[in-house]
Structure 1
Amino acid sequence: MEIGAMVVAVVGVAGTLGASLLTQRGAERAKRREIELVRDHEEVRENLALRRACYAALNRDSRQYTTALNRHLHVMREQGVQDADREALDAAKAAHRDTYSEAQMIAPDAVLDPATAVNHALTLVYGQVKRLERGAPEAGETMETVSRAQQEIWDLLREMRAAMRVDLGVSAAD
């Protein structure tokens, strides 16, 4: 009987120790999963914050570049362009270029496609403005046609901004 009691005691102790070990391992696994979920959530939140900042800067700089092109056209019509006017336009162009370059590395295609359309339109109008400024426009380039092309950029900006808002979850997709 002593051996039987001893076996029962050993099994009981082993069971108690084993249950403690299993409980501890389960708690460790749960804690690891919790840490991974928190890490994933933080990564998603940081990615969203990065995109939001990039989109806000791109929207602002694209609008300011468009406005600078419009102002430059008015200056060309009314008084003639001075160095300060050229510098203001080039500063707006550089700011847009920098934020567009950042967006190329961050934005998904659904946002990058309309941003690229805006960038392309701004580049075309800038070239037209500079050719008019030098007095060497290409065929069909007049103050009127360039002004119309510059005004059409506002529609592209609205499309870009709408895509950004959808990507950030601010607006629902159409």
Structure 2
Amino acid sequence: MESTLIALAGTTVAVAGTLLAPVLSQRLLSRAQSDQFERQERAADAQWARERRVAELDKRRACYVAANSDYRRYRVELMNHLWRVHKGEVTPEARAALEDARHSMHASFAEAQMASSDTVLAELDSMAQTLAHAYDRVMRLHEGVPRADGTFEEIRVMLLRANDQWMGMRTAMRADLGVDPGPAGP
């Protein structure tokens, strides 16, 4: 009888093992798939975050390139216009070129306001104010009603000094993009 009970117990264990194996196997498989799904989800989230950072960096870089170019172009056009005023050779085409450069700078500034860091925005704003003051002085000189500090030479020096300010602005942009500050000169 004892051997019958041992055989019965062995058979019961074998049948139970046979019946429970698919359940346990399914449970282990489900857990492994769940773990794999979580890993894939974390990887997808990390990839999305990387792509977002790259897109934001690309957008900032494009804004900074446009602002850098347009601010410099506007300063150069102001210098050219100042010389034309000094020589009495202002033409409607020259005035249109100055206004086009001015509007391009304002558009670049508006776009950069939405994407730039506070440090860069402060530099852009400071440079925009400098150029606005220079524009006002050049226009007053052209109209024959210069300010006390609005002689040709004073405005010329102001615009030359704006180049140093532009270099500071450029350095702030490069730092914000994580790029080497570059050469000290223009």
TM-score (norm 1): 0.94
Output one character per residue of 1:118-153: Cα deviation in whole Å (capped at 9) or x when no partner. Answer: 111011100111111111112232111111111111
Looking at structure 1, the residues matched to 35 and 161 of structure 2 have their Cα atoms a distance apart, in angstroms, of 62
* Deviation at residue 35 of structure 1 after TM alignment: 0.9
**What is residue 107 of structure 1 aligned with on the other side?**
116
- Structure 1: gaps of 5 or more residues: none
Mean alpha-carbon deviation: is it higher for 71-80 or for 50-59?
71-80
Structure with the greater alpha carbon radius of gyration: 2
5 Å-filtered alignment, 1:25-174, equals 25-171=34-180
SS where residue 89 of structure 2 aligns? coil
Looking at structure 2, the residues matched to 150 and 10 of structure 1 have their Cα atoms a distance apart, in angstroms, of 89
Looking at structure 2, the residues matched to 168 and 61 of structure 1 have their Cα atoms a distance apart, in angstroms, of 19
Looking at structure 1, the residues matched to 151 and 86 of structure 2 have their Cα atoms a distance apart, in angstroms, of 11
* Deviation at residue 159 of structure 1 after TM alignment: 0.4
The amino acid of 1:143's aligned partner reads: F
- Structure 2: gaps of 5 or more residues: 1-8, 182-186
Looking at structure 2, the residues matched to 170 and 78 of structure 1 have their Cα atoms a distance apart, in angstroms, of 42
Runs of 4+ in structure 1 deviating by more than 4 angstroms, as ranges, are none
SS where residue 141 of structure 1 aligns? coil
The amino acid of 1:131's aligned partner reads: R
Q: Which has the higher contact order (CA 8 A, sep 6+)?
A: 1
Output one character per residue of 1:85-122: Cα deviation in whole Å (capped at 9) or x when no partner. Answer: 11111011000000011011100112111111111101
> Contact 2:70–2:104 at 8 Å: present in 1 too?
yes
TM-score (norm 2): 0.88
